[in-house]
Structure 1
Amino acid sequence: MTSPASRLTQNTDFDFPVACLDAQDFSIVPPFREFLETHGCVVVSNRQSAIAASYQIIIGSYEYVKTIFEKNGKLVDHPFVLLYDSDKTKADDLVASHSVKVAIIQAKQYSPREAERIFAYFFVGSEMVQSFTSETDAPLDALARTAQGEADIYRKNFSSSGERIDHLIQEVYGEDERARAVETSKKTKKRYTTLRKIMHNLFAFRIPWNFLITLFIVVLAPLVWYGIMVGAATLGISSSESLIRRGAIADTNRPIALASVSLTQAELTLGLYKTPLTLVGQQGIIRGQERLLSLLRDVLTSETSAIYLVSESKLVGGALFSLRSDPEEHLAVELERLKNHIAVTMGTVGLAQAELGVLLSEAPFPFGLGSVRKVALEVRDRFTSLHKSLGQLTNLLTLYPVISGFDQSKTYLVIFQNSMELRPTGGFIGSVATATARDGRIGTLEIQDVYALDGQLKGHVDPPGPIAQLLGQEHWYLRDSNWDPDFRKSSERAAWFYEKESGVKPDGVIAISTPFLIDLLRVTGPVELPDINDRITADNFFGKSIFYTRADFFPGSTQKKDFLGILATAILEKITTMNGIDPTALFRAMTDALERGDILLSFSDRGAQSLVERYGWAGALPTRTLCDEENDTACFPEQIVAIEANMSVNKANYFVTRSESIDTTISPTGEVTTDVTILYQNSSPNDHPASGGGTYKTYLRFLLPQDAATEGITLNGRPIPVRSDKQRTTRTAQAPLPYAEVYTTDEGSVVGIAFVVESGDSQLLAFSFRRGKPFRLSEKGDGVYEMNIFRQPGLLGTTLTARVHYPEQWIASPETQSNAAASLVANPGEVRYNTALTKTTALRVHFITSP
């Protein structure tokens, strides 16, 4: 007979034990499932597991058991069969034919205690067949009976703690002792009188010191034990969390077991104090500790769920990228199961988050301690971040079946945008790749150099004016196709160019910008690139990128494979193995990039496109605001959208930083004016191509609402000349810099500004505009001003200060998105907000008139 300990080591792919449970009648399953899960098993019911099982349990009639064996076979060496009301002959037949252990049971619902008796027989019983159809059946040996009794005392549903203690006394001393204990518990007044006498004798030194020491140990020993067990549980949970973050899932068994056992011991010990503390009116102490243990139990459950989730994700990820040639089930089913498990994990994380919030609010011991409270706040933030990442991952799994070629093969264009040469949707398109999706699997990326593709374009396409005048190009190509800041339009243009140049019509476009690759390198660690015999890390990425993408590196530009494309392929290969990779950090890197716009998605399928637009991954410019949801309050939305394009044919954006200041003034009459100033600093060492940097020539666009009127544009305090429409549309040599141009589109007004920032120099750009629509408070005397500040995909190195000035007779109540690096200050007549512009953000100010 295999012992329980040895059973746990049978699964080499996933060390956490998996129990496959097939039942003819699912209504009797709960106590058996509860026993398995309480003892650390992941239970898979009435279906096959993608992970090798450690236990196989079948519950049903003789015919049902035979059917399960014919359908699924034996998953382990010695399955356990719970056979309905059957004679021993049929049980012996199952033992002989399938080498199983059989418990003959009734087709009824069993209590948790009865389920434990049956499993005790499975683990330690010597007979191969045992009947459990009456109370006198199934004798247990002393060891199993003791373990069963302890677990039963803990799990039994008592109406009060006194009832649990009565039960414990009865189990240990018998019915007479229990009756005496009950009788004694009714004499509360007499006990307090006795206690006073004891204290009197104590202070009169009438009690022997050895008795006092013994009493001290009896009272405090359980308390010390409780503290040790809580500490051990916390240690196990912390160790397991660290291992999960490192991707060492196989090593989590011991800390998970330590935490589980320690929590059980702590819960039992706390029960000993519950009645005495309740009698003296200290229920709050018990309630606080119960919540602490409940929190630890919820966190442990979350970790157990996360372990299973990571293992399933690794299997599914391998299948998605064709690393698993013979999947056990159809990928669509696996993806749906993974999505459902994420929902369960989100639920357990949300429960732990709520428990922690209550503890922080009520501050029982030890949450009143400053150091513990600080750690608890950090844990709460991690819960929030994890919950958000899991939500985004659920969205990805919702999208994936729509785009992964289950109905027909699909081809997607992947464009790699180098953000060190900034362009409107993230960066210059140095290389592209195609990826084919079929039956849920993604094929190998086929990288192509964009210059080689552009050389295949037949015919002429007029480029946008700034490309023609600032780059001196008379044709428009795929490499410059992302000129429109709305990725939905730029992706359509990129797909059109790619079809004309390659003859292949893509079913969608995926844009990946440099900041996302850096985040992935922080997660994966160093990546080897055998094609160029180099090793890339997050720290040396920028330097290596500049070196490998400079103009004179590859002989014959039409034959080169772009550095970013090679790197992206290598990172993808490393991620699919998940060895030594922190899965939570990987998910967070992906979801953060989607939120920032460093991953953008566009699909020809209407259903898929509708999903990415709903999730905010389509790269659409902001149109709707929270003001659209206001009903009874005056709300004034302001959009600050600035889009840059590097027109200097270098990687100067690596050396350029920006300090942006936005000042909005609301006059007593409701007039709204906004001043935007941006300080550019270019730390490029020189203009030599080998440096990667040099003079930064840029074309900056401000996108304004229809009612906005430009009031002034200056560079270092000097007005910038504004060109006429005729000059703007002329396809001749570039005009002297700086210059500005103002024109209108269907979406609103556009102010374009072309200027340069020399190496080692700085420039201060100032721009102001006035809104035609006034800001009016409601009849109730309240209103909301909302400033939405757009962060361009791929943009790095920008600090932001936003100020809102308002009449002093108003009272302001500001709020903004959570950001640890941000500060929000409200003074009379002014609200100030400082932050690093890492994503699109919003500042909302609620106004009321002072009484």
Structure 2
Amino acid sequence: MLGAQGPRNYLLMIQNSAEVRASGGIPGALAVLTLDQGKLSLGAQSSAGDVGVMRPTVSVDAEQQQIYSGRLGKYMQDVNLTPDFPTSASTAQAMWERKTGQRVDGVISVDPVALGYLLDATGPVKVKSPELLAIAGGGLPTELNGKNVVPTLLSDVYQNIQQPRLQDAYFAGVAQEIFKELSSGKADARGLVEGITRGTSEGRVLLWSGLASEQVIMTKYPLSGSIAGPSVSPAQFGVYFNDGTGAKMDYYVKRTVQLVEECTGDEYGQIKVRVTSTNTAPADAATSLPEYVTGGGIFGIAPGTVQTNVIAYGPVQAYIETVLVDGEKTDFAANRHSNRPVGSVTVTLAPGESSTVELTFGKIVQHAEPNLVVTPTVQPVKDVVLTTQPAECVPGR
């Protein structure tokens, strides 16, 4: 995959966590990475907006279209509404080929937090391009490092650059500067491996190969981002988030996710998935934040308010029994994806508001220790995923 037998081209998607998607964030910035005999170079750069609308739509299996709508195959911005990265990547590959005529060999996804891990290894990267400096207008740092790259790309850029087209150009330019530093070979090798490993373990780095012989190996590892197959543990739960605001407000949302084991008194297991979300945006977000960040109410969501579709997956063969929002029983959408139960509910939060969703999964036949996978967001994963709360069962009751 590093180009040992000839050059390989990969579509690089930089997921923007300020507008959350199931696998991380909207894939706003795109580029082609070429690997030839292990040497890396960055080629054509673009954006999801440039790819445009797919007519006819790219074919996606009916099961996932039922859950995530036909937008999966219609817009590059929405290919990762599904948490299944092989689906997102193969769809993105088809869209890129239809738009550009170039068929890439695979797809690589990273987010700004993972870029920060890489910058810890390369050291600070200076923004030297006169074009980038002109776009930034003096309001953004001229040197990016592991500490400032996330707030710069996910928040400050919107305060300083008003036009979406120029925002895309800035993202693309920053990516070029970072990958130029990576390809120079000057980075600390050990630090680089540690950064990529950390990003991968948190789901911030994902990889898909368009060659079946390679992809069958990839599916054995979490790096593949698969929701089914050998990389998925028997009692895996997944909690994923999709923005419903149509804006960049997820930079301000803080979340925690916890598994709570329940006593059933029979041979089946029962697990409650507890998701708490808080909108930490300032009270005057409607006026103090740029309209591009709040959405300006264009999709019917009041400026400053965040709407999120919370999606939870249980283990194979289990069922979703109930869903509570702030202690009140609520209706929810129930589906199945690769024989895993999927429940989704929409949460809407004004600045300062919090909400807790609890989805109870029953008839769990797996006796393995439950584990949890979540959408990687701006927050450190360790702050999002709380320790599983064990059941306190009283014998005979």
Higher strand share: 2
Q: What is the CA distance between 1:695 and its match in structure 2?
A: 2.0
Q: Alpha-carbon deviations, 1:553-593, whole Å to 9, x = none?
A: 35473x764433322221222234455x5432222001111
Q: Alpha-carbon deviations, 1:660-697, whole Å to 9, x = none?
A: 23211244433422222222111111134428463221
Question: How far apart in 2 are the matches of 1:532 and 1:711?
Answer: 52
Question: Which residue in the other structure is 1:716 paired with?
Answer: 326
Question: How far apart in 2 are the matches of 1:590 and 1:803?
Answer: 30
| Contact 2:317 2:339 (8 Å CA) reproduced | no
Question: Which residue in the other structure is 1:604 paired with?
Answer: 210
Q: What is the CA distance between 1:517 and its match in structure 2?
A: 1.0
Q: Report which stretch shifted further, 707-716 or 638-647.
A: 707-716
The 3 A distance-change label for structure 1 pair 569 and 803 is same
**AA paired with 1:756?**
T
- Matches for 1:144-223 after TM superposition, within 5 Å: none
Question: How far apart in 2 are the matches of 1:749 and 1:445?
Answer: 41
Whether 1:584 and 2:167 are equivalent positions in the alignment is no
1:436 alignment partner, one of 9, 34, 42 = 34
SS at 2:362's partner residue? strand
Question: How far apart in 1 are the matches of 2:273 and 2:220?
Answer: 30
Q: Report which stretch shifted further, 660-669 or 512-521.
A: 660-669
The 3 A distance-change label for structure 1 pair 624 and 771 is farther
Question: Which residue in the other structure is 1:747 paired with?
Answer: 339
Question: How far apart in 1 are the matches of 2:238 and 2:83?
Answer: 10
Question: Which residue in the other structure is 1:451 paired with?
Answer: 49
Whether 1:524 and 2:122 are equivalent positions in the alignment is yes
Question: How far apart in 2 are the matches of 1:802 and 1:703?
Answer: 16
1:758 alignment partner, one of 330, 339, 350 = 350
**AA paired with 2:94?**
W
Higher helix share: 1
Whether 1:565 and 2:172 are equivalent positions in the alignment is yes
RMSD over aligned CA atoms reads 3.2
The 3 A distance-change label for structure 1 pair 747 and 564 is farther
SS at 2:387's partner residue? strand
Question: How far apart in 1 are the matches of 2:378 and 2:268?
Answer: 32
- Matches for 1:374-413 after TM superposition, within 5 Å: 403-413=1-11
Q: Alpha-carbon deviations, 1:421-449, whole Å to 9, x = none?
A: 22112211111101233454333332112
Q: Alpha-carbon deviations, 1:615-665, whole Å to 9, x = none?
A: 4321112555898xxxxxxxxx52211111122122322221122232112
**AA paired with 1:506?**
V
**AA paired with 1:588?**
E
- Matches for 1:10-409 after TM superposition, within 5 Å: 403-409=1-7
Question: Which residue in the other structure is 2:137 paired with?
Answer: none
- Matches for 1:682-693 after TM superposition, within 5 Å: 682-685=279-282, 686-688=285-287, 689-690=289-290, 692=293
Q: What is the CA distance between 1:496 and its match in structure 2?
A: 0.9
Question: How far apart in 1 are the matches of 2:254 and 2:290?
Answer: 21
The 3 A distance-change label for structure 1 pair 795 and 613 is farther
SS at 1:482's partner residue? coil
**AA paired with 2:245?**
S
Whether 1:541 and 2:149 are equivalent positions in the alignment is yes
Question: How far apart in 1 are the matches of 2:185 and 2:94?
Answer: 36
Q: Alpha-carbon deviations, 1:233-285, whole Å to 9, x = none?
A: xxxxxxxxxxxxxxxxxxxxxxxxxxxxxxxxxxxxxxxxxxxxxxxxxxxxx
Question: Which residue in the other structure is 2:272 paired with?
Answer: 675
Question: Which residue in the other structure is 2:315 paired with?
Answer: 705
Identity %: 20
1:800 alignment partner, one of 386, 389, 395 = 386
Question: How far apart in 2 are the matches of 1:495 and 1:430?
Answer: 15
How high is the TM-score relative to the length of structure 2? 0.81
Q: What is the CA distance between 1:516 and its match in structure 2?
A: 0.4
How high is the TM-score relative to the length of structure 1? 0.40
2:242 alignment partner, one of 627, 645, 650 = 645
The 3 A distance-change label for structure 1 pair 570 and 652 is same
| Contact 1:430 1:562 (8 Å CA) reproduced | no
The 3 A distance-change label for structure 1 pair 548 and 772 is closer
| Contact 2:281 2:352 (8 Å CA) reproduced | yes
Q: Alpha-carbon deviations, 1:500-558, whole Å to 9, x = none?
A: 1111111111111122012123333332222422332333333322456539935473x
Question: Which residue in the other structure is 1:486 paired with?
Answer: 84
Structure 1: 5+ residue stretches without partners: 1-402, 628-636, 722-739, 776-783, 811-828, 830-851
2:260 alignment partner, one of 663, 671, 690 = 663
- Bigger RCO (CA 8 Å, 6+ sep): 2
The 3 A distance-change label for structure 1 pair 795 and 544 is closer
- Matches for 1:823-838 after TM superposition, within 5 Å: none
Structure 2: 5+ residue stretches without partners: 134-141, 295-303
| Contact 2:226 2:232 (8 Å CA) reproduced | no
Q: What is the CA distance between 1:474 and its match in structure 2?
A: 11
Question: Which residue in the other structure is 1:574 paired with?
Answer: 181
Question: How far apart in 1 are the matches of 2:321 and 2:118?
Answer: 43
Question: How far apart in 2 are the matches of 1:499 and 1:625?
Answer: 29
The 3 A distance-change label for structure 1 pair 626 and 790 is closer
Question: How far apart in 1 are the matches of 2:220 and 2:73?
Answer: 35
Question: Which residue in the other structure is 1:239 paired with?
Answer: none
Q: Alpha-carbon deviations, 1:745-797, whole Å to 9, x = none?
A: 44222111112122221111122121164x7xxxxxxxx64112113344634
Question: How far apart in 2 are the matches of 1:545 and 1:690?
Answer: 15
Question: How far apart in 1 are the matches of 2:212 and 2:58?
Answer: 28
Q: What is the CA distance between 1:602 and its match in structure 2?
A: 0.8
| Contact 2:347 2:355 (8 Å CA) reproduced | no
The 3 A distance-change label for structure 1 pair 785 and 451 is closer
Question: How far apart in 1 are the matches of 2:256 and 2:104?
Answer: 39
| Contact 1:413 1:495 (8 Å CA) reproduced | yes
Q: What is the CA distance between 1:466 and its match in structure 2?
A: 7.3
Q: Alpha-carbon deviations, 1:192-238, whole Å to 9, x = none?
A: xxxxxxxxxxxxxxxxxxxxxxxxxxxxxxxxxxxxxxxxxxxxxxx
| Contact 1:660 1:801 (8 Å CA) reproduced | no
Q: Alpha-carbon deviations, 1:61-99, whole Å to 9, x = none?
A: xxxxxxxxxxxxxxxxxxxxxxxxxxxxxxxxxxxxxxx
Question: Which residue in the other structure is 1:171 paired with?
Answer: none
| Contact 1:666 1:673 (8 Å CA) reproduced | yes
Question: How far apart in 1 are the matches of 2:226 and 2:193?
Answer: 23
Question: How far apart in 1 are the matches of 2:364 and 2:277?
Answer: 30
**AA paired with 2:182?**
I
| Contact 2:112 2:153 (8 Å CA) reproduced | no
2:110 alignment partner, one of 506, 509, 512 = 512
**AA paired with 2:211?**
D
**AA paired with 2:118?**
L
* Number of aligned residues: 367
| Contact 1:416 1:565 (8 Å CA) reproduced | no
**AA paired with 1:748?**
R
- Matches for 1:457-468 after TM superposition, within 5 Å: 457-460=54-57, 464=65
Question: How far apart in 2 are the matches of 1:646 and 1:654?
Answer: 11
Q: Report which stretch shifted further, 411-420 or 788-797.
A: 788-797
**AA paired with 1:805?**
A
Question: How far apart in 1 are the matches of 2:231 and 2:132?
Answer: 47
| Contact 1:426 1:795 (8 Å CA) reproduced | no
Question: Which residue in the other structure is 1:788 paired with?
Answer: 371
The 3 A distance-change label for structure 1 pair 459 and 787 is closer
The 3 A distance-change label for structure 1 pair 407 and 772 is closer
Q: What is the CA distance between 1:418 and its match in structure 2?
A: 1.0
